[in-house]
Amino acid sequence: MDNRSLKIDVSSEIGTLNAVMLHSPGAEVENMTPRNVQRALYSDILNLSIAQEEYSRLYGVLSKVAKIYQVRPLLRKVLDNPEHKAALLRRICVGEDATAYYEQLLDMEPDALASVLIEGLPARIDTLTSYLGNEYYALYPLYNFYFTRDSAVTIGDNVLVCRMANKVRMRESIIMEAIYRHSGEFTCGITDANDFHAAGSPVTMEGGDILIIRDDILLIGNGARTSSQGIDFMIERLRKIHPEGVYHIIVQQLPHTPESFIHLDMAFTMLDRDSCMIFEPLILRDSQFQTVHITISNGKVSSIRSVSNILKALKKLGVDLKPVICGGSDEWDQEREQWHSGANSFCLAPGQILTYARNVHTLDELDRSGFSIISAEDVISGKSALKGRCAVTVAGSELPRGGGGARCMTMPLSRGKVDW
């Protein structure tokens, strides 16, 4: 690493954002049809031009406050090195049963290859097997890559490359591992969960389920994308990285259906030192879904016990949060706005968040809690400044169809420290 590389440093959800990883949605988003939309893990197909217009506002706000790193140019940089290019292609081709395409990919120039690895590689229909397979792609498009949150997680000065729950997303993690390790842009420790487990392993985790509340508190969702075995793996790594001190893991079980509960950050996100956004029926009401507090003391798990809910567990640890209710007081509105990522906010700084404009009842609750509501356009133009508690709204007619909100689309690389 050279002296100009960024030191990964993330010890909370709310610290002032210094640097962030993004991937602007491109042709991969439209390289699907209603026939394969379910395999793409979407709830609907997207209109790319509108999605890009909406995304440009998210990007514009973030560019006002932080340094932005984009996946595609970083991937091109990795591919400029023949050795790293060959290693990355071997890993992808073996993992996706596409070894017959290895030489074709290896012959591509970095720009073209980066596009193919993200947007998909059409299959050659030149054998009976390929003809009968009825598959258009040898390498599927990375439909979900604009949700950069999931494939790798920054915790302190370390990066956890996630072992994704669905094969269609595994290449995202492999690309992110190569970027962190070989782009020369970052200084960090790296743990690649994919290195430790064979195909079929129940160990899975995704970044939307992993929230850093404080440097000694992790909040993790246990649901369709992050398994209990995946959480055990993370705890084991945490024990080895931090053999001294006390650390707390609070685990929230999640329903596997409907798909809007794909990750914990669809039901809980931080807003400020003393406030959070929640989907009330899951987080505060009695339900079949447990909340479990795990304590690690000097490298050993010292206790595992059930607790009433996330807020009570955090309060006992000195983080006293007032909940803002996604969707407001009406159960119908709560369900509708949770579905459209109303609880999925992203902190630019303590008390300053990005969220979708469409969730009007959630915005009313934020307003009642002292957040001024301002549009992304006004922030980008300079008409409105980011000051005090505020919620910056981004249009969201197309982006939510992919199944996520502002937190899903952002991977923090560096945040300022928080005075708790």
Half-sphere exposure for 114 (CA within 13 Å, toward CB): 20
φ and ψ at residue 403, rounded to 5 degrees: 100, 40
The arithmetic mean of pLDDT across residues 37-48, rounded, is 59
Cα–Cα dist 135/122, whole Å = 9
Mind listing the pLDDT tens digit for each residue in 253-274?
Answer: 999 887 778 999 999 999 999 9
Dump pLDDT digits (tens) for 191-244: 999 997 877 899 999 999 999 999 999 999 999 999 999 999 999 999 988 899
Nearby residues of 109 by Cβ (< 8 Å), 6 or more positions away = none
pLDDT at res. 23: 98
Residue 31: what pLDDT? 75
Q: What percent of the chain has pLDDT over 90?
A: 83
Number of domains composing the chain: 1
Whether the ω angle into residue 412 lies within 30 degrees of 0, i.e. cis, is no
First to last CA, the chain: 33
Residue 133 within a domain: yes
Residue 38 pLDDT exceeds 60: no
pLDDT of residue 165: 92
Return d(Cα 386, Cα 354) in angstroms, integer. 11
pTM of the predicted model as reported, rounded to 2 decimal places: 0.94
Asked if residues 344 and 405 have their Cβ atoms less than 8 Å apart, the reply is yes
Q: How confident is the model at residue 136 (pLDDT cuts 50, 70, 90)?
A: confident
Q: Does residue 262 belong to any structural domain of this protein?
A: yes
DSSP 318-346: T---EEEETTTT-HHHHHHHHHTTTT--E
Residue 299, burial from CB neighbour count under 10 angstroms (0-12, 13-18, 19+)? middle
The mean of the pLDDT values for the chain is: 93
In sequence order, what E strands does 234-274 have? 246-253, 268-272
- Average pLDDT of the segment spanning 312-338: 97
Provide the domain limits for residue 184: 6-415
Asked, for residue 330, whether it belongs to a domain, the answer is yes
pLDDT, average across residues 305-313: 97
Give a yes or no: residue 164 inside a domain: yes
How far is the C-alpha of 107 from the C-alpha of 219, rounded, in Å? Answer: 44
Task: Write down the pLDDT at residue 197.
Answer: 82
> Among 272, 282, 257, 266, which residue's Cα sits nearest to residue 356?
266
Tell the burial category of 186 from Cβ atoms under 10 Å away from its Cβ (0-12, 13-18, 19+). Answer: buried
In a domain? residue 312: yes
Give 32's pLDDT tier (boundaries 50, 70, 90).
low
Nearest Cα neighbor of 149 from 255, 249, 63, 221 is 221
The enclosing domain of 40 has a CATH number of 3.75.10.10
The values of phi and psi at residue 396, to 5°, are -145, 70
pLDDT at 129 over 80: no
Residue 127 reports pLDDT greater than 60: yes
Position 157 confidence tier, pLDDT thresholds 50, 70, 90: very high
Query: How many angstroms separate the CA atoms of 279 and 328, rounded?
Result: 9
Residue 83 falls inside a structural domain: yes
Burial of 62 (C-beta count, 10 Å sphere; 0-12/13-18/19+) = buried
Tens digits of residue pLDDT in 355-364: 999 999 999 9
Q: Tell whether 1 is covered by a domain.
A: no
Look at residue 326 and tell me if it is in a domain. Answer: yes
